[in-house]
Amino acid sequence: MFEKVVEIIREHSKFLITTHINPDGDGLGSEVALAAMLKKIGKEAFIINESPIPENYLFLSKYGDIKVFSKEYINIIRKADVIFVVDISNWERVGEFGSLIMRESKALKICVDHHPSNSGFADLNIIDERASSTGELIYDLGESLEIPLNEDIATGIYVAIMTDTGSFRFPSTTSRVHMIVSRLLEKGIRPEKIYREIHERRSPSRMKVLGRALSNLNIECEGKVAWFYVTKEMLEEFNLNTEETDGFVNMLGDIREVIVSIFFLERNGKEVKVSLRSKDDYNVNKIANRLNGGGHVRAAGILMEASLKEAIEKVLGEVKKYLTKE
């Protein structure tokens, strides 16, 4: 699987690495690990993304230099021999900067990804949907290159695997995943510190708004559907950014018997952001698609131009239709 890419790496010297907009732990961790590997074998490696690093991943800067795209980097892009696009299933998700790479660079493009929907857009595509994370594939690449692990590489891969497996609990968590993590921990990385950086940085206001929303929780369809909402007024009262409601929907997964969780966020008078989560491979992507949203089987979203009341009615209507059909 990695022979061709190993050959390409050995033959070239200047590498650019990028990932999707609004990067997550798998994208950022994979970038950091790959850059550290390339540097370890004497290559030049730059990480440039369209989006800034989210606050809870800023600690990764200690392990790899992650730049946010600006014009000053055009020369780096132009001079790159090879561009790695990691954790991306289609080219558009690089952001606007993606088209710039396509225009300004003659580099060979290599995609490393584990999304089943990957379109194979690059010159060379390393896609394995059975992998727990792109980070696991970067680990495999490191093995193929025979690059010994160091703390930078291990931290990047740990962050990628830990976040994309939901702390080693999603079905993608195989025996091999734990074997790899066992090797990473030999490099002195500290799970508790990393977990804290990523997951324990919430504001008190977020907790209060979450509390207010949970206290108005709704359960329907014989306990199978749980939904709740946050209004514009609640955000204003506690002075909370809409981004800080990320993750609210996951709270409902703790409730027994719930298969579909829904969170409605009133972003302003006209727009509602809907987050859907499911269990048992119940396909919430289908529901999102019907309302012009999208995502995955177990996690999908919709941006609706509607009042909160209208959005709730429409989404619950679709969910109920779909639940009775199954």
Give the residue with the Cβ less far from a second copy, 177 or 235: 177
Give the residue with the Cβ less far from a second copy, 175 or 268: 175
Query: ∠ at Cα 132 (129, 133), nearest 5°?
Result: 85
User: Residue 64: which of 100, 23, 30, 22 has the closest Cα?
Assistant: 30
Q: Does residue 281 touch a second copy according to CB under 8 A?
A: no
Burial class (CB in 10 A: 0-12, 13-18, 19+), 288: buried
- Quick note: the x/- pattern for a second copy over 158-177, rule CB under 8 A, is ---------xxxxx-xxxxx
Residue 210 CB neighbours (<10 A)? 20
3-11 and 134-144 helices, crossing angle to 10°: 70
Least separation in angstroms between residue 298's CB and a second copy is 11
What does the longest C-alpha to C-alpha distance in the chain come to?
Answer: 61
Query: Which range touches a second copy (CB under 8 A), out of 45-53, 89-97, 128-136, 181-189?
Result: 181-189
Give the residue with the Cβ less far from a second copy, 6 or 219: 219
Give the residue with the Cβ less far from a second copy, 196 or 321: 196
> What tokens were used for 172?
């993608």
Q: Site residues for a second copy, window 103-142 (CB under 8 A)?
A: none
- Quick note: the x/- pattern for a second copy over 33-72, rule CB under 8 A, is ----------------------------------------
Q: Does residue 210 touch a second copy according to CB under 8 A?
A: yes
Q: Site residues for a second copy, window 91-110 (CB under 8 A)?
A: none
Buried b (16+ CB within 10 A) or exposed e, 232-259: bebbeebebeeebbbebbebbeeeeebb
Give the residue with the Cβ less far from a second copy, 18 or 155: 155
Q: Does residue 150 touch a second copy according to CB under 8 A?
A: no
Q: Does residue 309 touch a second copy according to CB under 8 A?
A: no
Least separation in angstroms between residue 77's CB and a second copy is 35
Q: Does residue 260 touch a second copy according to CB under 8 A?
A: no
Q: Does residue 251 touch a second copy according to CB under 8 A?
A: yes
User: Residue 154: which of 188, 194, 126 has the closest Cα?
Assistant: 188
Q: Does residue 199 touch a second copy according to CB under 8 A?
A: yes
Q: Helix (H, G, I), strand (E, B), or coil: what is residue 28?
A: helix
Least separation in angstroms between residue 147's CB and a second copy is 19
Using CB under 8 A, which of 254, 268, 281, 326 touches a second copy? Answer: 254
**Alpha-carbon span 253 to 279, nearest angstrom:** 8
Alpha helices per DSSP H over 25-89: 25-40, 74-79
**Strand 108-113 to 218-220 pairing:** unpaired
Q: Site residues for a second copy, window 213-232 (CB under 8 A)?
A: 213-217, 219, 223, 226
**Alpha-carbon span 68 to 58, nearest angstrom:** 12
Q: Does residue 320 touch a second copy according to CB under 8 A?
A: no
Q: Does residue 186 touch a second copy according to CB under 8 A?
A: yes
Sign (positive or negative) of CA dihedral 31, 37, 43, 44? positive
175-185 and 134-144 helices, crossing angle to 10°: 70
Q: Does residue 279 touch a second copy according to CB under 8 A?
A: yes
Residues of the shown chain interacting with a second copy in the complex, contacts defined by CB under 8 A = 167-171, 173-179, 181-186, 190-192, 195-196, 199-204, 207-208, 210-217, 219, 223, 226, 251-256, 279
